[in-house]
Structure 1
């Protein structure tokens, strides 16, 4: 599998030279400075590609876009989206023109992902991302004060939430709001409580069936262009895979994924297989899902989580946690072999080590939450070891 690394662009304190040192060859990035809904011009794409690939000694290429974001109006089905869709299609063409042909995207409303702690302390030092169900419930019920929020949580979680909120300082509340707002997409916009209430109000009346149809409409509009220019679209699962803040989630399990792939059957309509997102649900059998959807997996995020019965979870070591990482990697390597044996030109599946823990010298550095250098380097090394062992045992190409 192609070993890739998420890079946040020229302002990332983890440089392209650092990426070369850890052994990755593919770069996963986006034009984060361009607001959602605006055009990614050919010149802007070319400039980013040159930044990544001009120093040939590093051996890097722009492998995957993560992500080309979808405007909230398209998710809402609000008004006439023709201009937004035209812009999206032209951005796709401009990427393909410069040889960037895998696009990871998501259809999560309002929040791309949700955590309640961005730096939860670990034994012996270091930090990790964490989702505490009671803290999220406290935010939803007592800070946001969303109507009907209490029916979304069980009695134990609500009791714990009430206790947390009664003891919380103003700093605790600001920290929690900041952690939840860190999951917002786009050019790092943030909402205050009132702004978030206003955004949620726009989704009143949008249930999972309406949101599903809005996604299907989007796919019907853009997949023909993807086929025309050789783009592979790869939807990212919901993180976590459950409704949040009264918002529906529609890419959380095997049934959801099957609906999305069947909505517009095409080799260009595919999946980003994220073991951390899907693995935050006890109901998801990750190796079975990887085998079932293997032909449509265009990109993989490999990370692990340790789950709790109340819905809480914490980012674990890549080979720790609850998810069968070896089984998933075996399924992906098997699919690679099938593609190579079938004569497919782009048979390698790009993957990246996702959401490393803050370890050693990375503690306290201003990296993006979940994206320190050393924790991800550890994860990449561990997954590389699994790949090498499976390849030796089964004859898989890597």
Structure 2
């Protein structure tokens, strides 16, 4: 007696090439976007690089003030310890969270900026844009930049179908922008005011606003810059010294001249880490606005090139977000955040190499100053969150999966 085994019948339809088994592991196990990895890695490399350079640039000054060689670096390190974890925490927030808190963040940023006009505020270098709390100094305008970027993204996202009408572009962007920029210019900080104005122009440009609508803001900015320059003898002197090759070395040209000398002494390979001569009291703001000069002096052209490459990779990752997203809010915030951080870096470097007059803006990630570092790390956390919102890249997947990906992107 023979027994025959009948084949099992499948409960579902048979597919060509065998049964395809699929296990969904959820969003936690999805591949990390390349943009996220590049942003995180370049930010961490630049922050670590900056910590080393701040240690080198501040050690002599700290000893001269009667402290230890690590005092300046320790203060800077406190903000790294706070900022880096916050960057990764912020990267886990959904995009919708930033839309909800944009107005609140801007109001808090403005309220913080107003503290510079209270007894907590103090003036340095002719600018009153600092406050001192519990022995720590703080520049509220740095947080205002971050809040301003997100707020502009929300407003332009909500008005995305109305931006051909100049009235919708004007209200509320121009009045609120004038308040934000004016609160900084009231403290005579022209450099930060120009960065805020650049942020506004970048947001309008990447939202698709017609170029003819930029005429009025540009004219207003030119009038404001000329007025502020004429009203301040110190600022006017710096601008004129930039245009005058025979300026007074002991006055307006002192800092810029020593910055150029630092770069020249470094040559291609540099004098070696820690071997800067200019930091011995010759170069003012060696650890702050002119830290790029110390990089060039100690690590040479190679060290400067590494910094530029890192900022280039940072911009590449951020603009990949702009190119891949279909969300107006994500596009505007990612592009504007990049223009702020990378644009400010280029302006700072341009000041050091003599392309621009002295403006007093820090080099993101590298300059000593906890407020600037913390704001830039938080801004990078927002960019990393936007990167996580991108749809996965299609790589040879089936038509059904392709359709789902396109739907998610929309």
Please confirm whether the aligned pair reaches a TM-score higher than 0.5, indicating the same fold.
no
The structure with more radius of gyration? 2
Question: TM-score, with normalisation over the residues of structure 1?
Answer: 0.30
Compute the TM-score of the two structures, normalised by the length of structure 2.
Answer: 0.29
Q: Which has the higher strand share?
A: 1
The higher relative CO (CA closer than 8 Å, separation ≥ 6) is in 2
